[in-house]
Amino acid sequence: MSTAPTPAPVALVVGAGDATGSAIAARFAREGYTACLTRRSADKLTPAVEAIRAAGGQAFGYGSDARKEEDVTALIERVESEHGPIEVLVFNIGANVPCAVLDESARKYFKIWEMACFAGFLNAREVARRMVARGRGTILFTGATASLRGGAGFAAFAGAKHALRALAQALSRELGPQGIHVAHVVVDGAIDTEFIRTQFPARYALKAEDGILNPDHIADTYWHLHSQPRDAWTFELDLRPYMERW
């Protein structure tokens, strides 16, 4: 009698942009995971999904608003029902919109918090409910320089990223004893993206000297965190180019 094949483990990347998020999804796909990518516009995921499939991996894109509870609940249910248990959640939403505090609007400040922190809570809670029942899983949060210190013009972003880091700390202490590895990655430096190339050409020129972060190398670190044995889990690590001041 034949039995149904065991589904591949699922890695869900929330905030799968064109650089870091897509690279993380591709890294897990190379390890045999089904990569599920999500952002508000599903159409923007097509290049990343097609690239993963062209390399022999499994990938699926979903449009979802990570700030809306009903969207998050429906997304998690759909991914698990269509592809199997989510073994890894990567929360990678940035929301870096600089503004002088005297010019900042209450609406934008709140929206940045929703994107960078509240959405992290919603997604982590929904996935954790399933992971705890299974006694295993990994939840990884992408942080930034603003997770550790606020800078002029970044009041909203720093407040949201500080809050996300605190959320990760609390989840790690609560969920770790239940078999869930929670980690926070501080990405401290410019990343090789189209935004940096066009908006900060002088900084982008440092790429030739390994002076900006390669998304594929960031992705390697996320895979390493997920692969750690539970007797030696890392909660937080930071990544920066060798020439970055800190």
- Give the full edge-to-edge strand order of the sheet including 58-63: 58-63, 34-39, 10-14, 86-91, 137-144, 180-187, 236-239
Residue 3 scores a pLDDT above 80? no
Rounded CA-CA distance 17/64 in Å is 13
The percentage of the chain sitting over the pLDDT mark of 70, rounded to a whole number, equals 98
Query: What's the CATH code, domain 10-238?
Result: 3.40.50.720
With a CB cutoff of 8 Å and minimum separation 6, the contacts of 60 are 34, 35, 36, 37, 49, 82, 83
Residue spans of the domains in the chain: they are 10-238
Instruction: Check the CA dihedral 39-21-123-162 and report its sign.
Output: negative
- The 10s digit of each residue's pLDDT in 147-176 is 999 999 899 999 999 999 999 999 999 999
**115-137, pLDDT tens digit by residue?**
999 999 999 999 999 999 999 99
CA distances to 18, 61, 190 from 223, in Å: 18, 20, 21
Q: Is the pLDDT of residue 206 over 70?
A: yes
